[in-house]
Amino acid sequence: MSALSNLRNSFDSKAAGDEMYAWIRDWFPIPRSLTGHGIREQFRRMGEIISLTLTETPSGAAAFDWTVPKEWNVREAYIADATGKRIVDYAQNNLHLLAYSMPVRERMPLEKLKEHCITLPEQPELIPYRTSYFKERWAFCLPHRLLESLPQGNYEVVIDATLAEGHLTYAECVIPGATEEEVLISAHACHPSLANDNLSGLAVATWLARALQDKGEGNGAGSPSYGLRFRVAFHLPLCVCAGDGGGHRVAFSQPGPCALDSARACPGPDRRCRAKDLQTEPSWRCVY
């Protein structure tokens, strides 16, 4: 009996869901970004569950049609009013800071501060998530209602951060199969405080990798027919948004078809993936 058949037959959905929710609660506060200490901490915690191999790619390296940016790390970031009270604080919610904001330490009037504030007027209670990997600027993200409530006056703005030559880190978990062919399962780990968009995919991929490792892969008994490669990195075909009530779907490439499209093609005009349509069980590689 194959490893995946064994896993399906022994699957306890409630126990698996409870465990993945516990991981997500633990991982949620980590200040992940495209590079830096946060994403390495994410991989350290995942490495306590599954075996991971990390790769460090230096800033400036070519990555298909883009270039690996500088490494970004934040010690603290906040906006304080005239009394010293922090009204926006990265330590309370790491979505408050535009990812890759350059360092700043300055006092400024409200009108100038507003030039560096990002809000969602149509959703005034929410904090937007924004990035600026390749354009040097700084900004804070905050609820529109909070911005509209700020009185005139001077505000202290602090972003204690570094943008320097460093590395982009990604992780892999490889489970050998009976052949050299592989199935790639990928998830991204570069977004902070986004449970469904980011962490649900990480949790599902981590749970699946551990479950298959525990089934005896690599020793010949119960191994999948093909290898499995789990990759956690940046934007590849992704296991993502696994925590909502929608069906399983595949997003195809833009603007047109490429080799990856045939590898992830699903039958039916709605492009829904159905378990009965997945006949083969290759080896698995997970990249994070």
pTM summary value: 0.80
Please report, for the domain that includes residue 88, its CATH number: 3.50.30.90
pLDDT at 251: 54
Domain hosting 179: range is 1-70+165-288
pLDDT at 53: 94
Do 209 and 276 lie in one domain? The reply is yes
Structural domain total, the chain = 2
Summarize the confidence of residues 15-33 as an average pLDDT. Answer: 95
Q: What confidence tier does 13 reach under pLDDT thresholds 50, 70, 90? A: confident
Do 88 and 186 lie in one domain? The reply is no
> Using an 8 Å Cβ cutoff, are 281 and 226 in contact?
yes
Domain boundary among 161, 186, 208: 161
Summarize the confidence of residues 141-164 as an average pLDDT. Answer: 98
What DSSP letter does each residue of 124-153 carry, written as one string?
TTPPP--B-SSS----EE--HHHHHHPPSS
List pLDDT tens digits, range 123-134.
999 999 999 999
How far apart are alpha carbons 147 and 138 in whole angstroms?
17
- Say which amino acid occupies 286: C
Instruction: Assess whether pLDDT exceeds 60 at residue 154.
Output: yes
